[in-house]
């Protein structure tokens, strides 16, 4: 394999690694800070290097921690949320509901009258599948 093709292959593998990997931001920050330290001539000054290294270490730790904790979390789930029907929604038909202040197209899993409280059971594409909220009467 010619050297230029090998270099392109290695470069593409490196780029794919950084694009697909979750720790790109800390690596970029470290590189930028090192470039700034080298460009300004402060790379050998311990007064600047020690706080810079501490800041880079802390930011790297926090970013990795946050990325690891939120990686598979879906922040936009509506399952279990309570809303109110805007339209009458017959079973299996669509209508509109308001959930957390947003209007959504909803499919009724049972007959729902306008103004009734609904509970989101599922979300597919941009449609919510809703049913009536059960009345929780005190016994």
Beta strand segments in the chain, E: 82-85, 94-99, 102-108, 117-124, 127-132
Residue of higher predicted confidence among 61 and 70: 61
Which range of residues forms the domain containing residue 15?
A: 3-70
In the predicted model, what is the mean pLDDT of residues 103-114?
Answer: 94
CA 39 → CA 32, 33, 36, 42, 107, distances in Å?
Answer: 10, 10, 5, 8, 60
- pLDDT, residue 74, reads 64
Q: Is residue 123 part of a domain?
A: yes
- 46 with 7, same domain? yes
Q: What is the pTM of this model?
A: 0.47
Q: Is residue 17 part of a domain?
A: yes
14 pLDDT above the threshold of 70:
no
CA distance 37 to 15: 25
Rg for the chain, CA atoms, rounded: 27
Percentage of the chain with pLDDT > 70? 76
Domains in the chain: how many in total? 2
Cβ atoms of 64 and 56 within 8 Å: the answer is no
135 pLDDT above the threshold of 90:
no
């Amino acid at each position: 394999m010619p050297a230029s093709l090998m270099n392109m292959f290695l470069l593409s593998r490196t780029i794919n690694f950084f694009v697909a990997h979750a720790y790109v931001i800390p690596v970029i920050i470290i590189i930028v800070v090192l470039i700034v330290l080298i460009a300004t001539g402060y790379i050998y000054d311990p007064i600047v290097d020690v706080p810079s290294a501490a800041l880079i270490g802390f930011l790297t730790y926090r970013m990795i921690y946050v990325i690891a904790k939120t990686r598979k979390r879906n922040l936009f789930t509506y399952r279990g949320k309570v809303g109110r029907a805007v339209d009458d929604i017959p079973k299996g038909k669509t209508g509109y509901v308001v959930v957390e202040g947003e209007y959504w197209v909803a499919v009724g899993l049972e007959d729902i009258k306008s103004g009734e409280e609904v509970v989101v059971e599922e979300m597919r594409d941009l449609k919510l599948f809703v049913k009536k909220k059960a009345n929780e009467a005190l016994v």
